[in-house]
Amino acid sequence: MAKLRKFKEAIIEKLIFLSGIASIVFVALIFIFLLREGISVLKSTSLGAFLGGKFWYPISDPPKFGILPLILGSLLVTLGAIAMAVPLGIAAAFYIAEVAPFRLRNILKSFVEILSAIPSVVLGFLGITILVPFLKRFLDLPTGLTAFAGSIMLAFMAMPTIISISEDAINAVPREYKEGAIALGATHWQTLHRVIIHGALPGIIAAAMLGIGRVFGETMAVMMVTGNAAVIPNSLFEPVRTLTATIAAEMGEAAKGSPHYNALFAIGIVLFVISFLINLTADLFLNRSRKR
Amino acid sequence: MKKLCPAVLFLWLSQSFFLCPASAVPPDQKSASIQIKGSDTMVNLGQAWAEAFNAIHSNVNVAVTGGGSGTGIAAMINGTCDIAESSRAVEEKEIKQAEAKGIRFNQEAVALDGIAVVVHPSNPIKNLTMDQLREIFMGNIKSWKILGGPDWPIVLLSREVNSGTHIFFKEHVLRRGKKKAQEEFSPGALMMPSSYAIAEEVANNENTIGYYGMGYISPRQKVIAVAKDAQSPFVEPTLPAVRTNAYPISRPLYLYTNGTPKGVVKEFIDFAYSKEGQEIVKKTDFVPIR
């Protein structure tokens, strides 16, 4: 009987172990797969021409696989979104965690959750029917399909991440800090911006980084509102094409094993590496904030 | 066990990635299905055919999806569809890729399509020559003023590269029909995911110029009359103009099968050519071939 129980436990242990390492295995497999399919792009173009090329004409003969405009497009949209979402998100987190009355706090929190639950294609749909024509008229642009429209959409999507993680970080600041500051005669505002913000800073930075990660990898809403012109952008108010939108728009057309197919996987590698770096930075800051 | 698991997982993953089986259609079975995939331009036509075909053959399940001609042809090469709808002929490159997988394209031209060039209704420009269109879409003419219009910037709208309409427009207008030419769309051209998106943006933005299959023509966009060259008359994309080849931007629409069609696939193609099938072509705003 005891033997059977031991045997059972051993099996359960193994199963739990498997589920535990599954995510590592999956990430590794995905990366291997990406690498295997993407690396052959170097047969049709050099690394420099791939990362630094200014023209993306994937189906021409000979094709041009220059993803510089796409990288810059992704970065521009992300920067724009972050410039909007980070200050707003952090301010909202402070309001929810420190200022708002208890009842309002719960209402706000559930609305933030609802915001995060809106599918991106729905946001994109609203963007193309409402935001894009509005931007064109309001800013007198040649077209409303611009990086700026994408940034606004993405700011909406990054806000819930930034708010909830920042709020956790603020709540994690030891109570004594706050009590000490108030005991020393600091006002509520002084306590907030001289004491609590310092305690919560690593967590807030991590929140911002995770928000950036969310924005950088987003596809659908961006594809619908940014115009998708593969041109190096001069400002936020011009059309851009992002890395993600390029994969999504062209993957269906590329026959397996063709240079175009490999180039799209190579874009996948670039995306993977950049997202990985963003998440790694976020993790470093998150760990620092936990150690305190 | 520990060593085995990743290997098993990988095998399983690679299977589901690589070996998506073709939905083979055994002709003798009671209920059968046909997977049709490809050109966005033809998706409505395919859908209308499928519905009418289904009314006669109620045991055959016909599924029609879009995505672009390239998508359909790629699906045929990868063995995931029975009929590929395409608004362009298959390329040398694709024939070779198909041969490597043991697939031989069989081409059926079932209808004709004129590509309409459209602008916002408030744009006073009515006529353009092929050369002017070429200069506009290559980004060499940047303002409507140069063409005698108002002082508005020109915003170019193009379809994505997976669209047969995109490829046809590039080869026919930009490259003047020369396959080896190197002309490209201006990198600043906006790549729209569908003909619908082009129609919407043209209807809402007075700076734009775009193109789509003539099935999409509506009063919310203004259709440009096009002339082959400076000496030729300006012609609008109408049924008789496309049929007599008077309109310069028109093309055949194809159905591709793997080898000579058999069974229900053959029945479907025969239906497309039939009087009723060609009537549907006309109803969906394309030009019948028979």
Q: How far apart are CA B250 and CA B108, in angstroms?
A: 17
Portion 28-87 of A in contact with B at CB < 8 A: 28-29, 33, 54-61, 69
Q: Which of B166, B176, B171 is nearest to B69 (CA)?
A: B166
pTM above 0.80, yes or no: no
**Which of A55, A60, A239 is closest, CB to CB, to B190?**
A239
Three-class HEC string of A217-276: HCCHHHHHHCECCCCCCCCCCCCECCHHHHHHHHCCCCCCCCHHHHHHHHHHHHHHHHHH
Query: Which residues constitute the domain of residue A18?
Result: 2-38
Residue A285 has pLDDT above 70, yes or no: yes
- A16 and A93 inside one domain: no
- A6 and A129 inside one domain: no
Name the residue of chain B whose CA is nearest to A25's CA. Answer: B6
Please tell me the predicted confidence (pLDDT) of residue A251.
Answer: 82
Residue A267 has pLDDT above 70, yes or no: yes
Residue A286 has pLDDT above 80, yes or no: no
Q: Which CATH architecture has domain B32-112+252-288?
A: 3-Layer(aba) Sandwich (3.40)
**Which of A61, A230, A255 is closest, CB to CB, to B187?**
A230
Q: Mutate which of B190, B198, B208 to disrupt the A interface (most A C-beta within 10 Å)?
A: B190
SS3 B101: coil
> Which alpha helices (H) appear in A39-146, and where do they start and end?
41-44, 47-52, 68-94, 102-117, 120-126, 132-139
* CATH 3.40.190.10 segments of chain B: 32-112+252-288, 113-250
For residue A193, the distance in angstroms to the closest alpha carbon of chain B comes to: 45
Q: Tell me the average pLDDT across A140-151.
A: 92
- A280 and A137 inside one domain: yes
B214 phi and psi angles, rounded to 5 deg? -65, -10
Q: How far apart are CA B247 and CA B225, in angstroms?
A: 9
Q: Answer yes or no: is the ipTM higher than 0.90.
A: no
Whole-Å CA distances, A266 to A22, A47, A64, A67: 25, 10, 14, 10
Please tell me the predicted confidence (pLDDT) of residue B2.
Answer: 40
Question: Is A138 in CB contact (< 8 Å) with chain B?
Answer: no
A191 phi and psi angles, rounded to 5 deg? -60, -45
What's the fold here for domain B113-250? D-Maltodextrin-Binding Protein; domain 2 (3.40.190)
Please tell me the predicted confidence (pLDDT) of residue B233.
Answer: 93
DSSP 8-state code for residue A193: I
DSSP 8-state code for residue A40: T
Q: Tell me the average pLDDT across A186-204.
A: 86
Q: What percent of chain A has pLDDT above 90?
A: 37
pLDDT-flagged residues of chain B (< 50): 1-29
- A98 and A227 inside one domain: yes
| Residue A132, domain CATH | 1.10.3720.10
Q: Contact B113/B87 with Cβ under 8 angstroms?
A: yes
Please tell me the predicted confidence (pLDDT) of residue B242.
Answer: 87
Number of structural domains found in chain A: 2
Name the residue of chain A whose CA is nearest to B166's CA. Answer: A59
- A52 and A24 inside one domain: no
B237 phi and psi angles, rounded to 5 deg? -75, 90
For residue A63, the distance in angstroms to the closest alpha carbon of chain B comes to: 10
- A75 and A206 inside one domain: yes
Burial of B88 (0-12, 13-18, 19+ CB in 10 A): buried
- A71 and A149 inside one domain: yes
Cis-peptide, bond into residue A259, ω within 30° of zero: no
